[in-house]
Amino acid sequence: MIKKVGIIGGGTMGSGIAQVAATAGCLVKLYDTNTEALDKSKAALEKIMARLVEKGRIDKAEKSRIQDNITYVDSLKELSDSELTIEAIVENLEIKKKVFQELESYVSEETIIASNTSSLSIASIASALKKPERCIGIHFFNPAPLMKLVEVIPAVQTSGEVLRKIKMNIANWGKTVAIAKDTPGFIVNRVARPFYGEALRIYEEGIASFHEIDAAMKEIGGFRMGPFELMDFIGNDVNYVVTETVFKAFYYDPRYKPSFTQKRFAEAGYLGRKSGKGYYEYKDGKVITPNAVEGSFNSDLAQKIFNRVLVMLINEAADALFWNIASAEDIDNAMTKGVNYPKGLLAWADEKGISWCVEQMDTLYDEYREDRYRCSPLLRKLKKDNKTFF
Ligand code: NAI
């Protein structure tokens, strides 16, 4: 098992990953160029640990053990004895490449060098190294200590041995590993796009309000948050950029087309919770805009909205399987454990019926005649062969 872990970047993700590794018993060195970030990270961990003690989840000895496992360092060279390094700095390819090159000059031949990037290709980051076969993507979800899923992404250069070691060690940290191909958005950030995109489109067509769409997804679908609540939570700026990045990376496939509504909200500074206003208004972290639907909520409409968003999600998940982005189990685990979906999308497709999925997609396609609504060939094949995903 890997014992010595170096983390580069002590922001939101780096701090969370450090906590996960330290809790699992690793000796962690957390490095950041900004010493204030390190102080903040240390203070945040103290708060989290104190709360866990209060709740009785850990005792004081465990708290000290976890905290003592993390050393905060202000020089990259300090990571020289790491067996594994995970980088979680700013999402910029050139900066990441430079840091990786410098890091490679300090560490041993065997050190695995990983990135937590959400949107850059692992192959492009790995190409900066003299030994690119030691590079791999290890993509945690925010907040890292709470979200069970970790996507592990081997690049074309990654050795089988590095993949095997990482799979084993990350599972040993208590995480559910989903292996994903090095393609835009990996699993979650690709398959989840219609949750936002189709909801925005339904709103833009004037079919329903933000609140009605959220209510449909929560009440009929059992999603914990509606798409608009979730976009407000993530931040419209961040969510928009992810959508635009995925859209461009897929050579402008209309399935991932960003929305003008969200773009204008981001431009206006209506970012969501963090700015006090997004699709809803917030005060002290609580929604202050009336949450109830005016008049009676049309249940036929709610069902239609839910069906449309769900089938678009299912279609995306099926297509990810069609293109061998990940296994059916990993695709379903990714969505339930990375973004808390109430069910895996492929299991949901089986439950609704493959024929139902194909018919829903074809109805949308007939109505709009847009490539966005093309049914995945895999769904059609399953229907023809009278098969299911599981
Ligand atoms: P953040 O802005 O909270 O933290 C980044 C930290 O890196 C800052 O403390 C900064 O001082 C430090 N840093 C910047 N350049 C550096 C350098 N050259 N050397 C050392 N430290 C440096 O960012 P966040 O949200 O933690 O994201 C980090 C990475 O994780 C990005 O690649 C992002 O795409 C990825 N990611 C983010 C998720 C999220 O929800 N925030 C989820 C999964 C991945």
Is residue 212 domain-shared with residue 161, that is, in the same domain?
no
**Is the domain of 221 the same as that of 339?**
yes
State whether 197 and 171 are in the same domain.
Answer: no
Burial of residue 293 (CB within 10 Å: 0-12, 13-18, 19+) is: middle
Q: From 71, 118, 72, 73, select the one nearest 96 (Cα to Cα).
A: 118
Percentage above 70 pLDDT, the chain: 98
C-alpha angle with apex 145: 217 to 40, nearest 5 degrees? Answer: 115
Cβ-based neighbours of 205, under 8 Å, separated by 6 or more: none
Say whether both 30 and 168 belong to one domain.
yes
The tokens describing 348, both together, are 């949901």
What pLDDT does 66 receive? 98
Rounded to the nearest whole angstrom, what is the distance from the C-alpha of residue 15 to the centroid of ligand 1?
10
User: Could you report the per-residue pLDDT of 278-317, keeping only the tens digit for each?
Assistant: 999 999 878 887 655 555 568 899 999 999 999 999 999 9
Are 314 and 343 within 8 A, CB to CB?
A: no
For atom 12 of ligand 1, the residue with the nearest CA is: 9
Beta-ladder partners of 375: none
Burial class from Cβ neighbours inside 10 Å (0-12, 13-18, 19+) for residue 321 reads: buried
88 CA to middle of ligand 1, Å?
Answer: 4
* Residues in Cβ contact with 164 at an 8 Å cutoff, skipping those fewer than 6 apart: none
Q: Is the pLDDT of residue 88 over 80?
A: yes
Q: Range with the lowest mean pLDDT among 115-119, 362-366, 375-379, 381-385?
A: 115-119
Nearest CA to ligand 1 atom 30: 88
341 contacts 335 by C-beta, under 8 angstroms: yes
User: What is d(CA 352, CA 147) in angstroms, rounded to the nearest whole number?
Assistant: 27
Ligand 1: nearest atom to the Cα of 234: 40
Same domain, 226 and 120: no
The minimum-distance atom of ligand 1 relative to the CA of 140 is 43
299 vs 269: which has the higher pLDDT: 269
**Burial class of residue 190 (count of CB atoms within 10 Å of its CB; 0-12, 13-18, 19+):** buried
Atom number, ligand 1, closest to the C-alpha of residue 142: 40
- Tell me, yes or no, whether 92 and 148 share the same domain: yes
Mutate to test the pocket of ligand 1, among 118, 141, 151 (most ligand atoms within 8 A of CB): 118
Instruction: Tell me: do 173 and 193 sit in the same domain.
Output: no
122, 152, 179 — which closes off a domain?
Answer: 179
Report CA(260)–ligand 1 centroid distance (Å): 27
pTM reported for the whole predicted model: 0.94
Mean pLDDT across the chain, nearest whole number? 96
pLDDT at position 338 over 70: yes
Q: Could you give the CA distance from residue 357 to residue 350 in angstroms, rounded to a whole number?
A: 9
Note whether 175 and 193 are same-domain residues: no
Domain limit, last residue, from 179, 196, 221: 179
CA angle 66-68-74, nearest 5°? 115
Assess whether 189 carries a catalytic annotation: yes
Sign of the Cα torsion 102, 128, 247, 332 reads: negative
Residue nearest to atom 8 of ligand 1 (CA): 11
Q: What is the pLDDT of residue 292?
A: 56
* Best of 32, 79, 94, 150 for a ligand 1 pocket test (most atoms within 8 Å of beta carbon): 32
Q: Find the 89 Cα to ligand 1 centroid distance in Å.
A: 3
Higher-pLDDT residue of 11, 293:
11
The last residue of one of the domains, among 179, 212, 246, is 179
Pocket probe for ligand 1: among 15, 38, 78, 90, the residue whose CB has the most ligand atoms within 8 Å is: 90
The whole-number average pLDDT for the span 346-362 is 98
CA dihedral 166, 142, 348, 231 (to 10 degrees): -150
Separation of CA 60 and ligand 1 centre (Å): 30
Q: Domain check: are 209 and 126 in the same one?
A: no
Q: What values do phi and psi take at 41, rounded to 5?
A: -65, -45
Do 214 and 226 form a contact (C-beta atoms < 8 A)? yes
Which residue among 15, 139, 212, 315 is the active-site one? 139
Three-point CA angle 357, 362, 368, nearest 5°: 130
* Ligand 1 geometric centre to CA of 90 (Å): 4
**Closest Cα partner for 157 from 184, 179, 177, 137?**
137
Q: State the pLDDT at residue 290.
A: 61
Q: Are residues 209 and 283 in the same domain?
A: yes
pLDDT value at 136 more than 60: yes
Q: How remote is the CA of residue 335 from the centroid of ligand 1, in Å? A: 23
Q: What is the pLDDT of residue 214?
A: 95
Whole domain around residue 53: which residue ranges? 4-179
pLDDT (0 to 100) of residue 74? 96
Q: Do 326 and 297 belong to one domain?
A: yes
Instruction: Give residue ranges with CB within 6 A of ligand 1.
Output: 8-14, 32-34, 37, 88-91, 95, 99, 116-118, 139-142
What ligand 1 atom has the least distance to the C-alpha of 37? 9
Report whether pLDDT(209) > 70: yes
151 as an active site residue: the answer is: yes
- Number of domains the chain is built from: 2
What would you measure as the largest C-alpha separation in the chain, in angstroms?
Answer: 67
The count of other CB atoms within 10 Å of the CB of residue 232 is: 28
Structure tokens at 165: 């070691």
Please tell me the residue having the least CA distance from ligand 1 atom 25. Answer: 12
pLDDT of residue 294: 53
The answer to whether residue 277 scores a pLDDT higher than 90 is yes
**Residue 347 CB contacts under 8 Å (≥ 6 apart), including other chains:** 332, 389, 390
Give the domain CATH number at 30: 3.40.50.720
Q: What angle do CA 192, 226, 232 make, to 5 degrees?
A: 85
Q: Considering the chain, what percentage of its residues have pLDDT values greater than 90? A: 95
Please tell me the distance from the alpha carbon of residue 2 to that of residue 175, in angstroms, as a whole number: 15
**Predicted pLDDT at 389:** 98
40 and 61 assigned to the same domain: yes
Q: Which of 346, 332, 344 is nearest to 378 (CA)?
A: 346
Domain CATH for 211: 1.10.1040.50
